[in-house]
A and B are shown apart, each in its own frame.
Chain A
Amino acid sequence: MNQAPAIAHPARSLAALAVREWLRLSRQPSRIVAAIGTPLLIWVVLAGGFAQSADVSSHGAAGMLPGAMSLTVIFSAIFGAISLIDDRNQGYLRAVLATPTPGWVIGGSKLLGAGGLAMIQGAALLPLAAVVGARPEPLGWLHALGALAVMAVFATGLSLVLAWRVNSVAGFHGVMNLILMPMWLLSGAIFPLSTAAGWMRLVMLANPMAWMTDTLHAALTGQAAAISWGWPAACSAAALTLISGCAVVGRRAVA
């Protein structure tokens, strides 16, 4: 029965583990509803509530759509990170680490699987842009998808790195409320950079989610980006979390 030892091709392992993430999601429909439904609800409420406000009229329903999409991406990334905690607590991760699979493949597959899902779920709101009057250029749709991809990599990578340090789902909720939600609130999702107080503008300029939301906003509305260096900075931040996520999650020794 013993066979010659073999080491799987990294690409095959990467794909197999990423497909597992998607299979798991298909069996947890509540995750899909929560990831898309909650941001959608927040968007409807905020857009409706601010509809007559002169201060944010330029922001409006179309202007707030990127914020709803970025929140969808963040929620999906959070669920992906929670699945990492589950994998660790249920012993699944330990069994995968005990295979010849390279560490970066294990981390990369989480990013590809959970990040891919985050991007797709964020993109599911894209058609709403046409409904609320945003008229992106044909290239704008592509830019929006690119921005969503970068945002998904960043949010998922950051969530996974944070989740690695936390032992329980309950603990991760605390991290989420302390780090990820403030990042979203200060991303220009609800109020634009231009109307924020001076000190807050500085905080927003230092927030990678703001660079990404701004890029998405510019892609959908056709307006010039408020943060001119947002796109390259966003890509750099995403690349950094991609590497960190692969390195941290794929670390073979867990103790």
Chain B
Amino acid sequence: MHAPSATNATDPADLRGQRAPSPTLAVDCRAVVKKYAGSTPTRPDALRGVDLAVAPGERVALLGPNGSGKSTLLHTLTGTISPTGGRVSLMGVEIWPNAHAGGAIRAALARVGVVFQSPSLDPLLTIGENLRLHATLTGLCARSGRSRVESLCEMLGIADRMNDRVKTLSGGLARRADLARAVLHGPELLLLDEPTTGLDPLARRAFFELLDRIRGASSPPMTIVLTTHLLDEAEWADRIVLLAEGTVAASGTPTSLRAGVGTRVMRVSIEGRRVEDLHSIIRAHGFTASQVQESLVVSPVDDTRAAALAAELARMGCAFSLTPPTLDDIYHALVQRRAGEGARA
């Protein structure tokens, strides 16, 4: 299951978003641009020519810091944000630009489920009332809607809370109910916008277990596009698309992204040191580093030059270690590398 990489689009027509949408892709975004009113050089466009291709059945995480454009991209896929340029297709149906976009979006949305950053249920209605209403909106008849609501609530462990109003639920339970809402109609594509916002680590893990269970029960497996700024959540996906400042900075499996950074990274403790001094020493050995919490992370490191740097750090009495890179390291390294390329350009 290898979808075309988001960064591999080399056909000029493709980059201009002029090629016909591929009917085989669950998500096909080409050169998508979104400008909000008041975009300036210091406050750039939310999306600046994003290409994204997601194969059916694939799990893709859009990873990026706040303001990187991941939520804007996801909302573009739901049709609730109109892009300024480019093309967007879902399951081969072009939803933007399209002279008949209203009908096209509705046809596509009948096959899509969406979980937003905060639960989107009516707090004054019960779980059951919310879900039955949503079943009607997604085209399920009364009988199949009822049975689907019941079986899903059973699967998600909220069957005994069906008659409770949403406003009385804990964050975790409200999330489960919201997930039930999103998958009620058996969508082929599930879009999740930072779905674990506000949940504690246990509830987050439980959420992803439920997501796996729902996906396991769907046939063919549901395509999932998830936005997150949490690297451990992104690792759950088959492929990570790293967004930075409205563009795709990198794309690949968690393993391939790790390989791009190297097999090991050096972590230099900044405790009791001037960060600028440490940066100077690291640069003098031909490396760059990014600060992650209380450490400077140097990557990629090759053994010869790393040995020289390690020797100098040891002479200075600096604490350091050589470890395999985490996704955190990869993320910072790629963002920094991209920033360096931008500065050189």
Residues of A within 8 A of B (CB): 1-3, 5-8, 12-13, 16-17, 20, 23-24, 27-28, 87, 90-92, 94-103, 252-255
Contacts and interface: CB of A to CB of B under 8 A. Distances in A.
22 contacts: A1-B218, A1-B219, A2-B222, A5-B111, A5-B185, A5-B188, A6-B139, A6-B185, A23-B125, A24-B125, A91-B116, A91-B119, A97-B78, A98-B78, A99-B138, A100-B137, A102-B102, A103-B102, A252-B80, A253-B81, A254-B81, A255-B75
Interface string B109-122: 11110101111111
SS class, residues of chain A in contact with chain B: loop
B105 A252 contact: yes
A27 B110 contact: no
Interchain residue pairs A-B with the least CB separation, the first 8: A6-B139, A95-B120, A5-B110, A3-B186, A253-B82, A16-B136, A100-B110, A100-B106
Contacts of B188: 2, 5
A253 B79 contact: yes
Contact of A23 (B117, B119, B129): B129
A90 B125 CA distance: 13
Given A7-B106, A7-B107, A254-B80, A92 B122 contact: yes
Interface size class of B (residues with CB under 8 A): 35 or more
Nearest to A27: B124
B146 to A, nearest CB: 13
A91 B121 CA distance: 8
B133 interface: yes
B83 to A, nearest CB: 9
Contacts of A1: 183, 186, 214, 217-219
B123 interface: yes
A6 B219 contact: no
Contact of A2 (B79, B80, B81, B219): B219
Contacts of B38: none
A6 B129 CA distance: 20
A13 B122 contact: no
B220 interface: yes
B140 A6 contact: yes
Contacts of B137: 8, 13, 16-17, 96, 99-101
B186 A2 contact: yes
Given A95-B114, A95-B116, 17 more contacts: A1-B186, A2-B186, A3-B186, A17-B133, A17-B137, A20-B129, A20-B133, A23-B124, A90-B123, A91-B120, A95-B134, A97-B80, A100-B139, A252-B80, A252-B102, A255-B75, A255-B81
Interface of B: 36, 75, 78-82, 102, 105-107, 109-112, 114, 116-125, 129, 133-134, 136-140, 165, 181, 183, 185-188, 214, 217-220, 222
Contacts of A254: 80-81
Contacts of B139: 5-8, 100
A68 B186 CA distance: 50
Most buried by A among B78, B81, B121: B78
A219 B99 CA distance: 48
Nearest to A4: B186
Contact of B121 (A13, A92, A98): A92
A252 to B, nearest CB: 5
Nearest to B133: A16
A97 B79 CA distance: 8
A24 B110 contact: no
B120 A92 contact: yes
A2 B120 contact: no
A101 to B, nearest CB: 5
A55 to B, nearest CB: 46
Contact of B82 (A2, A5, A103, A255): A255
A3 B185 contact: yes
Nearest to A26: B124
A95 B125 CA distance: 15
